[in-house]
Amino acid sequence: MKHILALLLAALAVFPVRADKSIVLIAGTPSHGKGEHEFRAGCLLLAECLNKVPGIHASVVSNGWPEDVSILRSANAILLYADGGDGHPAIKPDRLKLLDELASKGVGIGAAHYGVEVPAGDPGFAMLHWTGGYFETFWSINPTWKADFTGLPSHPITRGVRPFAINDEWYYHMRFAPEMKGVTPILSAVPPKNTVGPNGPHSGNPFVRSEVERGEEQTLMWAFERPGGGRGFGFTGGHYHSNWGNNNFRKVVLNALVWIAKGEIPGGGVESTVTPEQLKLNQDTK
C-alpha cells in the first residue's frame, strides 16, 4: 500500500493536477428593447456553455458590478458585457484601479459589444492596457450591418470556427494600441459604404469615411497579449441576443474567454449547443 501511495505522489509531482480556470462574466443592467442588450441572459448562456468544458468554472455577476469584489480577485478572466460610454460599470476610479491591478497580475479581461466603449482619457488608456483596443467617440462608429467573415486567421480563438455571415450592430474603426503591438485581428470584414453616416460621436468621421471608401477591411474582434503578460480581447458584436444561437458566433467568444483565462481550447474549439428555448430564458423585463 505504501508503495502504491509513493507511486501516486510521484506521478502527481511529474503531472500536477491543474486547478480549474475561473471566468467571471459581468452582466450590465437592463438596456434597450426586448432581445437587445440582453447582457444577463447572454452571460448566463455563455457561462452554461463554459461550465461543460473540463477545467473551466464560469460564474455570472448581474447588475454591472459585484457587491463583493473577492470574486474578481480570484478570477483568471473577466468579461465586461454591459452598457458603455459614461455609464460603463468599470470606469469608476476604484474599479479602474482594481482591474488595472488584476490585469497587471495576468488576469485576462475581455469586453463585448457596448462594453468596448469607454470615454477617452484614463478609461481609454485602461482599456488599451487590458484589451488592446476600445471604441472611442468621434473616431469609432456603431452601424448595424451584415458582416461576412470569409477568412479567419490561425489563432487558438478561431479553432473550430468556420467562415460565417451575420447581421449585428458591428462596431468598427476602434482605437487600438500603438502600431497594433500585441493585437491580433480575429474577425475582420469590409463594411458597406452606407454604414458610414454624417459626422457624429457614433456615426462617422472623415478618417473612417476615407477607409470605407477605399474598401479597407475593418477589425470587429481582436485578441491582445499584454507586454507584461496577460491576455485580453474585444468583441464588438452581441447587440442581438438571438445571435448567440449561431454556432460560429458563439464559439469564437467561448474560445476567447477560455484563451484569456489561459485554459486549454480543444482542437475543434469549445463545442456547445443552444436551443431556441434556451435563448428565451433569463431575458430582462423591459
Residue 286 pLDDT: 85
pLDDT at 9 over 70: no
Percent of the chain predicted with pLDDT > 70 = 93
pLDDT at 15 over 70: no
Residue 19 pLDDT: 66
List all residues 6 or more positions away from 191 whose beta carbon is below 8 Å from its beta carbon.
143, 145, 147, 170, 172, 212, 218
pTM of this structure: 0.93
Spatial separation of the C-alpha atoms in residues 286 and 280, rounded to whole Å: 14
Instruction: Name residue 9's amino acid.
Output: L
Short-list 20, 21, 19, CA closest to 260: 21
pLDDT at 8 over 60: no
Spatial separation of the C-alpha atoms in residues 24 and 188, rounded to whole Å: 27
Please give the full DSSP string across the chain, using - where no structure is assigned.
-HHHHHHHHHHHHHSPPPPPEEEEEEEPPP-SSTTBS-HHHHHHHHHHHHTTSTTEEEEEE-TTS-SSTHHHHT-SEEEEES--GGG-TT-SHHHHHHHHHHHHTT-EEEEEGGGGB--TTHHHHHHHHHHSEEB-TTT-B---EEEEE----SSGGGTTPPPEEEEE---BS-EESGGGTTEEEEEEE---GGG--SSBTTTB-HHHHHHHHTT--EEEEEEEE-TTS-EEEEE---SBGGGGGSHHHHHHHHHHHHHHTT----TT-------HHHHTTTPPP-
Spatial separation of the C-alpha atoms in residues 246 and 251, rounded to whole Å: 8
pLDDT at 7 over 60: no
Mean pLDDT computed over every residue of the chain: 94
- The phi and psi torsions of 23 (rounded to 5 degrees) equal -120, 125
Residue 131 pLDDT: 98
pLDDT mean over 213-224: 98
Residue 195 pLDDT: 98
Chain mean position to CA 141: 18
pLDDT tens for residues 140-198? 999 999 999 999 999 999 999 999 999 999 999 999 999 999 999 999 999 999 999 99
pLDDT tens for residues 93-105? 999 999 999 999 9
pLDDT mean over 78-100: 97
Q: Which three cell numbers stand for residue 60?
A: 455570472
Short-list 125, 135, 124, 109, CA closest to 218: 135
Short-list 76, 186, 201, CA closest to 132: 186
- Name the least confident of 14-23, 58-67, 114-123, 131-140: 14-23
pLDDT at 81 over 70: yes
Q: Does domain 21-279 have CATH number 3.60.60.10?
A: no
